[in-house]
């Protein structure tokens, strides 16, 4: 089995600054992998994430280090022993899935259109209300907030999207006092769930807490082994392939979450449709999808996802990935 492996880092600009509690971004860095075997080509992508200690240089080093093993035939099961979870492994794992599908060795889970959350970045209450007005009729709206005026921002937004499912993401920016104090407002505004309010290192404070809305682990949840620690603190988990290190572990994490009675959201980093094509395979089984990463890009990959009405996302064209 002879394989040719190509890896690297790609940079893409955003059309609008993306603001969350940890800061603002105007471009992204992507790990990209191509594996050729005969006439079949598999592609994968991961989004380099500073929150998890990643840098473009470090991810590029990880990719170069694994090229020889992949060229020699290492598969997805071996990959989990050879690389830690993260964007580099995600890119390699998804490239292997794509290659195996094109060789007829695997059939990835089927895909169909899903309603994805559309995200409102952090701004003033007035600016966020104006942005929310443009999303009227969208099925799911995800609101990024920090510890500064979250109540004012949420009160300003909700009247603009009266029929939408509303998700609030604090990206680790709240205190436990804020979590407790804001419960009545979250219930009043019919927020479906609250995502990662506390820093991951401090989320033991949630153990045994009975809130009025479910709380979803994001930064606290990476792989299946995390679930036993999280099940007493959260009611949901957010599965992102850049945290799990690929689709292989993401499917295992989904099964483990369901076995423990946890709800599942499938999210993404800002990325192109190449990353979203793999995430679709888990999103079709989830309670909520948040796959709008490509919509922030100045330019996506040709043949990628397509948006319909009300936030309905259609998967990439046949042959783009996994078929």
Catalytic sites, residue numbers = 144, 240
The closest alpha carbon to 230, from 185, 190, 260, 250, belongs to: 260
φ/ψ (deg, to 5) at 114: -135, 150
> Please, is 104 exposed, middle or buried when counting C-beta atoms within 10 Å of its C-beta (0-12, 13-18, 19+)?
exposed
CB under 8 Å to 157, separation ≥6 — which residues? 120, 125, 128, 129, 132, 141, 143, 166
With beta carbons less than 8 A apart as the criterion, state whether 98 and 108 touch: no
DSSP states along 145-208: --SSSHHHHHHHHGGGSTTSEEEEE-TT---HHHHHHTHHHHHHTTEEEEE--S-GGGGGGGTT
- Give the strands of the sheet with 312-314, arranged side by side: 114-115, 312-314, 306-307
Distance of alpha carbon 199 from alpha carbon 247, whole angstroms: 26
Angle at 67 between CA 40 and CA 244, to 5 degrees: 85
- What 3-state class would DSSP assign to 256? helix
Beta-strand relationship, 215-217 and 236-239 = parallel
């Amino acid at each position: 089995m002879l394989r040719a492996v190509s890896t690297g880092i790609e940079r893409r600009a955003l059309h609008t600054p993306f603001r969350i509690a940890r800061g603002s971004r105007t471009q992204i860095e992507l790990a990209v992998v191509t594996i050729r075997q005969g006439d079949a080509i598999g592609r994968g992508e991961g989004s380099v994430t500073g929150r998890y200690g990643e840098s473009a240089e470090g991810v590029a080093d990880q990719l170069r280090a694994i090229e020889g093993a992949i060229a020699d035939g290492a598969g997805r099961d071996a990959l989990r022993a050879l690389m830690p979870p993260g964007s580099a492994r995600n890119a390699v794992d998804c490239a292997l899935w794509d290659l195996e599908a094109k060789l007829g060795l695997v059939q990835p889970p089927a895909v169909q259109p899903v309603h994805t959350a559309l995200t409102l970045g952090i701004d003033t209450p007035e600016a966020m209300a104006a942005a929310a007005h443009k999303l009227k009729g969208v099925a799911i709206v995800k609101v990024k907030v920090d510890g500064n005026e979250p109540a004012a921002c949420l009160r300003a937004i909700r009247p603009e999207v009266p029929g939408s499912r509303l998700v609030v993401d604090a990206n680790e920016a709240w205190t436990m006092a804020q979590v407790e104090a804001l419960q009545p407002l979250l219930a009043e505004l019919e927020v479906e769930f609250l995502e990662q309010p506390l820093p991951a290192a401090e989320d033991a404070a949630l153990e045994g807490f009975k809130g009025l809305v479910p709380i979803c682990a994001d930064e606290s949840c990476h792989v299946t082994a995390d679930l036993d620690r999280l099940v007493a603190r959260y009611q949901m988990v957010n599965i992102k392939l850049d945290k799990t290190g690929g689709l292989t572990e993401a499917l295992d994490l989904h099964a483990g979450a369901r076995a423990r009675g946890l709800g599942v959201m499938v999210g993404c980093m800002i990325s192109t449709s190449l990353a979203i094509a793999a995430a679709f395979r888990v999103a079709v089984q989830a309670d909520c999808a948040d796959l709008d990463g490509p919509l922030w890009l100045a330019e996506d990959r040709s043949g990628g996802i397509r948006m319909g009405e009300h936030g309905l996302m259609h998967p990439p064209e046949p042959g783009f990935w996994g078929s």
